[in-house]
Amino acid sequence: MNSIFLVIILVPLIEIYLLIKIGSQIGAITTILLIFTTAIIGIYYAKYEGLNTLKSGFLQLSKNEPPTYEVISGAAIAFAALLLIIPGFATDLIGFLLIFPLSRKIIFQTLGKKFKNKNDVKRDYIDGEFEDIEDDHDRKI
């Protein structure tokens, strides 16, 4: 079964289950207010972290260094903001984990180790081709 199809089915099921369970414990109005509150707080914090990441990216560019971490971090913050807009508690949890810099760095390190290419071996030589060019008088007829 396709993993994207599985995510499309499972995420709403988990969200509905959590909304019912939490709503039965704290009440419907409180649950709705909690969902709106996490969305509003998350969006403002995503804006704050996004601007910090942008500032850090410009600082890296001014040092003539590639801002690779900042670009990936910015994409993760944008995805986290999207998850925080979607109503639900599981998506809010994942969104907040992606927004906070410490947990984002841990997630990046974990995924980096998982997807690291095994063929990236440091070599002490330069791979290339050569052609031996002979002078015309060195040739024997």
Close Cβ partners of 22 (under 8 Å, ≥ 6 residues apart): 31, 34, 89
Helices and strands (DSSP H and E) totals, the chain:
5, 0
For the chain, 141 residues long, give each residue's pLDDT as a single digit of tens: 688 888 889 999 999 999 999 999 999 899 999 999 998 998 899 999 999 999 999 999 999 999 988 999 999 999 999 999 888 999 999 999 999 989 999 999 998 888 776 666 666 777 778 777 776 655 555
Domain boundaries, the chain: 35-115
pLDDT at 128: 76
Is the CA virtual torsion 12, 15, 21, 26 positive or negative?
Answer: negative
Name the token pair of 71.
């670009």
How high is the pLDDT of residue 123? 64
The pLDDT score that the predictor gives to residue 129 is: 80
Looking at residue 136, what is its pLDDT? 60
Backbone angles phi, psi at 87, to 5 degrees: -70, 130
pTM as predicted: 0.74
d(Cα 76, Cα 98) in Å, to the nearest integer?
6
